[in-house]
Structure 1
Amino acid sequence: MTTPTPPLREAARAIVLDTDQQARVLLLRYDEGGGFWATPGGSLEDADEGDHAAAVLREMGEELGVLEEAIELGGQLAERSKEHLVGGREVRQVEKYFLARISAAAIDPARASHSDNIREHRWWTLTELNATDETIYPLGLADLVTGVLEHGAPVRPVVLDG
């Protein structure tokens, strides 16, 4: 007996670097599943949204109150595919990760329109990312950011695990 393939859920996420302190990455804290930190982003709204890059800009405004003109959006750095529950139903989520640079001062939670159960936001140094015992998604984020800072964006998006 075969199990049906969960429906596809396309998502766009941002690997956000601080324009003022280059080696800092912005992560959001969630309490679900024992608690974890993740990059900003979410699912594409519908076919009218345009593309993944447009979704990243929208999500950063919704989650963090960052105005679109404050975001320096780069190209796609990575992709990840994972099956998990969203709203109580199993989906196969395919996430595209884009490089984004903002100033820490651009974040304004008072302007955020969809907090999506975000408990807090925090800037992490690479040293902190490498030393923490907390769960960070995507796996391999510190290595990806280190590579971007040392060598620039990859020629083709990197495929990330879980």
Structure 2
Amino acid sequence: MTTSTPPLREAARAILLDADDRVLLLRYDENGGFWATPGGSLEPGEDDTTATLRELHEELGIDEQAVELGVQLAERTKDHLVGGHPVRQVEKYFLARASTAAVDPSRATQPDNIREYRWWTLTDLRHAKETVYPDGLADLVALVNDGRIPQRPVVLK
């Protein structure tokens, strides 16, 4: 019996922090409900930076000029279903900073199935009863909040 690797889907995601070092997460109802960082798949010919900024605008109405996009903090590879089809998604997570006022979901052009957004403190993340993706996000935010930006992207599960 042979098993095939699902098609590759590249994605860029933002670990978006405000001036108080809170991280913005989006809530979805699929798969029992979960919270995740903003972001999504790259379009053909698009680079990670462009995709991250585009996704922040599409999902949250954030103007490109209102975001300070930083280094890649992490990467995660996950096999899952997208539109009912299996994919192997490779996600790159980038540090981003914006004010809370920059978030304007009324200007979002593709809010997808986002049910809610919320700014989370590190304490909120560490004590979350809900599912939060990716695993290890709290530890990564703690590093950034302590000024210890990883030299190389951290591998998350």
Q: What TM-score bracket applies, with the shorter chain setting the length?
A: over 0.9
Q: Taking structure 2 as the reference length, what is the TM-score of the superposition?
A: 0.98
Alignment-derived partner of residue 59 in structure 2: 63
Alignment-derived partner of residue 156 in structure 1: 152
Alignment-derived partner of residue 32 in structure 1: 30
Give yes or no for the alignment of 1:3 onto 2:3. Answer: yes
1:90 positional shift: 0.1
CA distance in 1, matches of 2:9, 2:124: 31
Give yes or no for the alignment of 1:125 onto 2:126. Answer: no
Aligned length: 157
CA distance in 2, matches of 1:112, 1:55: 15
Judge which range, 125-134 or 63-72, deviates more. 125-134
What SS does the corresponding residue of 1:80 show, helix, strand or coil? Answer: strand
Alignment-derived partner of residue 146 in structure 1: 142
Alignment-derived partner of residue 103 in structure 2: 107
Gaps of 5+ in 2: none
Give yes or no for the alignment of 1:95 onto 2:60. Answer: no
Aligned-pair RMSD on alpha carbons?
0.7
Identity %, equivalent residues: 70
Alignment-derived partner of residue 43 in structure 2: 45
1:148 positional shift: 1.2
CA distance in 1, matches of 2:25, 2:50: 20
1:151 positional shift: 3.2
Cα deviation, 1:97-138, whole Å, max 9, x if unaligned, reads 000000000011111000110001000011111011110000
What SS does the corresponding residue of 1:151 show, helix, strand or coil? Answer: coil
**Paired AA for residue 144 in structure 2:** V
**Paired AA for residue 10 in structure 1:** E
